[in-house]
């Protein structure tokens, strides 16, 4: 079932229930009102008959008595449909009968009733009312009146017809109106679906229209456009990554193939073969380092829930990274500055191998790009109530602002870094590791003045 049809049916059902309840209340209150009015009329009729029977033979000497008697007579002449009035003595005998003579039976318990009024309703709109009438020196009498409320039967029948007809017409109008209005309300949704179905991987630059409104469809279009932005970025990054990775992998493979082909062209001396093997080994190591870097980037991009994280001290990790970098770059000087308050421990929740790789990347970059600088690399570890921060400052070649904005793109290398060994995957890998740990990385640099890299991680409290 389509949403349009479901909305139309639900809207019609709500309106139908409301109208049905309203019509039922109207009919019920009308029925109760007319029933009460007819009972009162029938009771007045019984009282008039009793007055006429017991007081009609007495002389009316004063003006007030004559006026009251005339009023009773006027009411008496207003006959009701199928009317019959009887006056019973307390022994159950009929002492007077007025109206249509029938064989209706008197409810036996009414002669012994104490509470008034007495009313009996039947399903065919017939009513029976009873009342006691006291006559001086003659005792109590029971006056019973029967009649049929034909007027209410007719009027309520007409009212039922009008209400049912109005309900059916309202349902038809509501159903058609709900179908039309639901179609108008869902028109932006249909347009969005058509636009979504036309977007493919080759034209992900397209966006849904109507995302600048305030309704739910506009919010959906805006959210989908944001998703397309992320997907486009991911696709572009993937294509760039594959292109650059292929280029970087091709370089050591070309060296390997070239060295082997040259070695096979003619016989060579043992020293020449050793040189070929050394060149081949260097190219193989370069290829291995590149493959390891790609694997680390893939691992750092995993779901955080799949990477084991344990509490660890960042100061101990920095000492370990410092020792490793000093072993690899013996001519590079790195000064450590621990600015951690005594009452705060620099403990973070992280993966030791990944965080060690991030620290090594930052320190190695500082050493490689500050070679020949007069001042040493400075690594500062600080901690506050909620974060632990590692800042690595070098006074090397630095970079342009345009290059700085591209440092997290895999395989990107600035123009002044072409002669420095590397593949351009250190900072992108560190960026992924920081995201995986809920941290951040910042790079500030000026050409010819050096670079500062800041790693910030949430402290484990």
Any domain includes 22? yes
**28 lies in the same domain as 49:** yes
What tokens were used for 33?
Answer: 């009102």
Any domain includes 402? yes
Using one digit for the tens of pLDDT, what is the confidence trace for 138-173?
788 888 888 888 888 888 889 989 989 988 898 888
Is 59 a residue whose pLDDT tops 60?
no
CA distance 30 to 24: 10
Most confident of 58-67, 130-139, 235-244, 316-325: 316-325
Is 2 a residue whose pLDDT tops 70?
yes
Of 169 and 272, the one with more pLDDT: 169
Any domain includes 165? no
**279 lies in the same domain as 355:** no
**Total domain count for the chain?**
3
**254 lies in the same domain as 332:** no
**353 lies in the same domain as 238:** no
Using one digit for the tens of pLDDT, what is the confidence trace for 411-420?
677 766 666 7
- What's the average model confidence in pLDDT over 15-34? 89
What does each C-alpha distance from 54 to 48, 137, 242, 399 come to in angstroms?
10, 12, 117, 124
Domain boundary among the residues 104, 127, 156 is at 156
* Residue 57 CA to its chain's centroid (Å): 85
- What's the average model confidence in pLDDT over 91-97? 82
* Cα angle value 393/398/402 (rounded, 5°): 120
Using one digit for the tens of pLDDT, what is the confidence trace for 218-270?
777 778 778 877 777 767 666 666 665 665 567 677 878 887 887 888 787 88
Any domain includes 201? no
Place 454 in a pLDDT band, splitting at 50, 70 and 90.
Answer: very high
**367 lies in the same domain as 438:** yes
Q: Domain range spanning residue 94?
A: 3-156
CA distance 317 to 360: 10
Strand (E) or helix (H) holding 74: helix 63-76
CA distance 324 to 321: 5
Using one digit for the tens of pLDDT, what is the confidence trace for 63-91?
665 565 556 555 555 567 878 888 888 88
Residue 221 phi, psi (nearest 5): -65, -40
What tokens were used for 4?
Answer: 């349009």
**348 lies in the same domain as 400:** yes
**241 lies in the same domain as 146:** no
Place 184 in a pLDDT band, splitting at 50, 70 and 90.
Answer: confident
Question: Which is it for the CA torsion 23, 27, 33, 36, positive or negative?
Answer: negative
CA distance 17 to 19: 6
**314 lies in the same domain as 436:** yes
Per the rule left: phi > 0, alpha: psi between -120 and 50, beta: everything else, 317 is alpha
């Amino acid at each position: 079932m389509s949403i349009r049809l479901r909305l139309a049916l639900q809207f019609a059902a709500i309106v139908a229930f409301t109208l049905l309840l309203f019509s039922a209340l109207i009919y019920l209150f009308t029925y109760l009102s007319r029933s009460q009015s007819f009972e009162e009329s029938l009771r007045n009729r019984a009282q008039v008959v009793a007055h006429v029977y017991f007081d009609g033979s007495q002389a009316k000497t004063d003006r007030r008595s004559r006026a009251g008697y005339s009023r009773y007579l006027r009411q008496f002449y207003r006959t009701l449909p199928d009317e019959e009035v009887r006056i019973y003595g307390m022994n159950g005998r009929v002492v007077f009968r007025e109206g249509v003579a029938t064989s209706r039976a008197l409810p036996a318990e009414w002669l012994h009733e104490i509470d008034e009024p007495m009313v009996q309703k039947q399903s065919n709109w017939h009513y029976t009312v009873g009342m006691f009438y006291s006559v001086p020196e003659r005792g109590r009498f029971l006056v019973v009146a029967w009649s049929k409320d034909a007027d209410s039967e007719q009027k309520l029948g007409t009212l039922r017809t009008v209400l049912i007809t109005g309900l059916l017409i309202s349902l038809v109008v509501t159903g058609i109106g709900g179908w039309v209005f639901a179609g108008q309300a869902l028109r932006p949704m249909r347009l969005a679906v058509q636009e979504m179905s036309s977007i493919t991987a080759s034209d992900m630059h397209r966006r849904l229209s109507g995302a600048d409104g305030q309704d739910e469809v506009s919010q959906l279009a805006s959210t989908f456009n944001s998703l397309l932005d992320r997907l486009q970025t991911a696709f572009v990054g993937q294509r760039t990554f594959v292109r650059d990775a292929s280029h970087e992998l091709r370089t050591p493979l070309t060296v390997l193939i070239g060295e082997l082909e040259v070695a096979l062209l003619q016989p060579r001396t043992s020293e020449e073969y050793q040189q070929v093997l050394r060149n081949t080994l260097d190219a193989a190591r370069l290829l291995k380092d590149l493959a390891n870097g790609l694997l680390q980037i893939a691992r750092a991009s995993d779901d955080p829930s799949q990477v084991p994280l344990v509490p660890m001290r960042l100061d101990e990790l920095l000492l370990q990274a410092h020792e490793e970098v000093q072993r690899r770059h013996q001519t590079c000087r790195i000064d450590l500055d621990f600015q951690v308050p005594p009452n705060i421990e620099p403990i973070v929740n992280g993966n030791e191998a990944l965080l060690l790789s991030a620290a090594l990347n930052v320190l190695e970059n500082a050493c490689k790009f500050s070679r020949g600088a007069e001042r040493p690399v400075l690594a500062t570890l600080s901690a506050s109530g909620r974060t632990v921060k590692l800042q690595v400052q070098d006074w090397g070649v630095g970079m342009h602002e345009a290059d700085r904005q591209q440092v997290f793109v895999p395989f990107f290398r600035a123009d002044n870094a072409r002669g420095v060994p590397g593949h351009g995957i250190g900072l992108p890998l560190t960026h992924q590791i920081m995201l995986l740990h809920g941290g951040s990385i910042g790079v500030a640099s000026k050409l010819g003045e050096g670079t500062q890299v800041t790693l910030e991680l949430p402290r484990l409290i």
